[in-house]
Structure 1
Amino acid sequence: MHPRTSDVLVVGGGIIGLVTAWRAAQRGLRVALADPEPGGGAAQVAAGMLAAVTELHYGEETLLGLNLESARRYPDFVAELEDASGGVGTGYRACGTLAVALDADDRAHLRELHALQQRSGLASEWLTGRECRRLEPMLAPGVRGGLRVDGDHQVDPRRLAAALLAACERAGVVLHRAWARRLLVAGDRAAGAVLEDGTELGAAQVVLAAGSLSGRLDGVPRDVLPPVRPVKGQVLRLSVPAAYAPFLSRTVRAVVRGGQVYLVPRENGELVVGATSEELGWDTTVTAGGVYELLRDAHELVPGITELALTETRAGLRPGSPDNAPLLGPTRLPGLHLATGHYRNGVLLTPVTGEVMATVLTTGELPAEARAFAPGRFRSAAGAPSLSPAGVS
């Protein structure tokens, strides 16, 4: 019996898989998506900072260009998505970000970051400690200075995922709520996938967008497997009572004891605190140590946080690549494309990734803005076990 056939099969239903499926369906392609829980994965843990400027790192200037392009597209993307989803809100807020320093070493680090931002032509403003506290009165008295970046915004990843899922369903994407177990290859070309229940799904093109699990799909040739790894992140959610509002008016972040901590206030009164960064393989355990460190560092930044109710603790897996940048576009196996390895920028890069992948799927050409992120920049990855539910957050 011949497998059911579509133009495109997307393996993975996180925000990257969903935006790829939605944009491909908008271009008139028949699209199927395989994931046991579309809209789940890392999006359920991510904080949703759209921080192209404040998350700039040395050596990532090429990635900066892609991040800025995606950030530029976000307002129009959100408006279109909320309409296409039938009115599902995304929690997008153009509230800006404040990065602050708590001691002299952190202040020197922020000064260096400010200089790098200026050399890169980015808009950020240096503030004194007093000016930081004037903007955010809940900040600790010891804040020594900070960077105000009005162009770094936020979105609620859980609501973003829900909107993308609704848009996919309205656009006719066929959802298969099961794991893809093995890639189908016919005539030296990707031809679909076999699901966990044995169902064969044929497709003219396959997009592997399974986040940190993307390197574990059986049947993918060794020289094509994406070199992605799981990077654990623990995140807390707290509730701000109405009497405390506004607790924070914008995202606040800092380096405390050498570790990053951020506080992201939602309009609904939720406050997200994150995130650890742990190279622990597929472990998704929430640990007492991780929770303690986040609360301790957040308390040094905003002492009043200890008065808030702790409503949720979660751990998820970011899909890290060797250079912390995504793998986008065709592989050496005809018909197989990658949209994975976004690491800490998956939410930020959602708009540009959707457009890039839709262009690849309809024209075969990788747009200019994504050529530096083609999968061919890496050699082969080591073999790995097949894709399975084990280890998924």
Structure 2
Amino acid sequence: MTNPLPHADVAVVGGGVIGLAVAWRARQRGLDVLLIDRGDLGAGASRAAAGMLAPVAEADAQERALLVHNLESARRWPAFAAELGDVTGVDVGYRACGSLLLARDRDEAEHVERERALRERMGLKVERLLGSEARRREPALAPSLRLALALPDDHAVEPIRVTAALIEACVRAGVHVRAGTDVSDLATLPAERVVIATGAWAGESRRMPVRPVKGQALRLRDPSGPGLCDRVLRWGPPTPGYLVPRGDGRYYLGATMEERGFDTAVTALGVYELLRDAGEVIPGLLELEIEEALAGLRPGTPDNAPIVGTDPADERIVWATGHFRNGILLCPLTAELVADELTGGRPDHALRPERFAAEGAPA
């Protein structure tokens, strides 16, 4: 006989970084919190994420609201990482490493120049580098590199460590955690409010326009230790990619963008494309060992921005989903916005679900 779910002020459905952070912050506000996931905590998109904290690189120049929220959440990350470490003793792998945006040909060089202009308009730190200077800073880069941007404020964390720290923080705070618990009917949950943080599956439980976007990636390892690169490296379009160093000889290479429904198969084509493009940028990468080939499902929305706030048709439901490529980055800010909502506030921001209801999208 299974144990019945305890009654709580708030039930958070979804145990990825967003759901975990929301549960932790809500508990810190004095609410009794139940956290539910139908599988293992952090086993979905959070485990497959790269962990880049790149607020401008992961948003289109036209997505102004998303850019604003990305930048605000990026500013919160150093304190968020330090707080998690203080509370749990877990190092989340926060690295103030900066990144290089690279151009291999004329088209990519034009993209780099547009990105430089955007960041300069926003008052962000950016430095234009010739290929020779980029190679001086990262000697493993290919000699054919044409141009680069140095972005010193783009950093990174290790999502698996972030998840472990958030689980520990929730347990220590007294969140009621129920992993491996499937909830088919939200109405039956014994809670006053229900937070939907189920990522790509959020579109299944109710009628918000959330869809899965597949991303294949590789975890690589240099048996001789660190040294291939120190900074996050990014390249593209038309086929954007990135290499995230962990600082200890491990690297994350990602990631494809595929509209394949809930398919999470790793394919030979996906792995080939990742290695082909990365090998043109940093040839020594092809000598690394493959630790793991993996695929995750990003929760996409029609405007690529998250859905955060109370459901306009049901005050009991609060949304915290649709973070697409920015789930790790937006984790601190989303948790605060939802915690504010749960404790009587109604933060005024552009991520609220009303934007879809107002456009006639299902809500």
TM-score tier after normalising by the smaller chain length: over 0.9
Superimposed CA distance per residue, residues 273-317 of structure 1 (whole angstroms, 9 cap, x where no aligned partner): 000000111111100000000000000010111111111000000
Give the deviation of 1:378 after TM superposition: 0.1
Partner of 2:336: 355
The answer to whether residue 216 in structure 2 is matched with residue 214 in structure 1 is no
Task: Describe the superposition over 1:339-373 as per-residue Cα deviations: whole angstroms up to 9, x where unpaired.
Answer: 0000000000011011111111012322x4xx111
Preserved contact between residue 54 and residue 149 of structure 1 (Cα < 8 Å):
no
User: Which one of 249, 262, 269 corresponds to residue 289 of structure 1?
Assistant: 269
Within 5 Å, which residues of 2 pair with 1:308-387?
A: 308-332=288-312, 333-366=314-347, 368=348, 371-379=349-357
Query: Is contact 1:53–1:122 with CA below 8 Å preserved after alignment?
Result: no
- Paired amino acid for 2:182: W
1:270 to 244, 247, 250: 250
Count of residue correspondences: 355
TM-superposed deviation, 1:3:
7.0
SS of structure 1 residue aligned to 2:192: strand
SS at match of 1:92: coil
Q: Following the alignment from structure 2 to structure 1, what is the Cα–Cα distance between the partners of residues 6 and 97? A: 46
Report the CA distance between 1:60 and its aligned residue: 1.1
Q: Is 1:61 aligned to 2:64, yes or no?
A: yes
Distance 2:327 2:175 in 1: 21
What letter matches 1:6 in structure 2?
A: A
Give the Cα–Cα distance (whole angstroms) in 2 for the partners of residues 208 and 348 of structure 1. Answer: 19
Residues 58, 326 of structure 2: 8 Å contact kept: no
Aligned to 2:73: 70
SS of the residue 1:293 aligns to: helix
* d(CA) in 2 for partners of 1:304, 1:4: 53
- Counterpart-to-counterpart distance in 2, 1:321 and 1:74: 24
Question: TM-score normalised to the size of structure 1?
Answer: 0.88
Q: 1:203 corresponds to which residue?
A: 191
Rounded Cα–Cα distance in structure 1 between residues aligned with 2:216 and 2:27: 34
Paired with 2:77 and 2:362, the residues of 1 have a C-alpha distance of: 36
TM-score, with structure 2 as normaliser = 0.95
Task: Return 5+ residue gaps in structure 2 as ranges.
Answer: none
In structure 2, how many angstroms separate the alpha carbons of the residues matched to 1:46 and 1:73?
19
- What amino acid is aligned across from residue 75 of structure 1 in structure 2? P
Q: Secondary structure at the match of 1:347?
A: helix
Q: How does 1:117-196 map to 2 (within 5 A)?
A: 117-177=119-179, 178-184=181-187, 193=188
Distance 2:74 2:151 in 1: 13
Residue 241 (structure 1) shift: 2.4
SS at structure 2 position matched to 1:334: strand
SS at match of 2:186: strand
Q: Deviations over 1:230-256 (max 9, x none)?
A: 00000001101235x311011001016
Question: 1: CA distance between counterparts of 2:54 and 2:289?
Answer: 27
- Structure 2 distance, partners of 1:68, 1:3, is 38
RMSD: 1.5
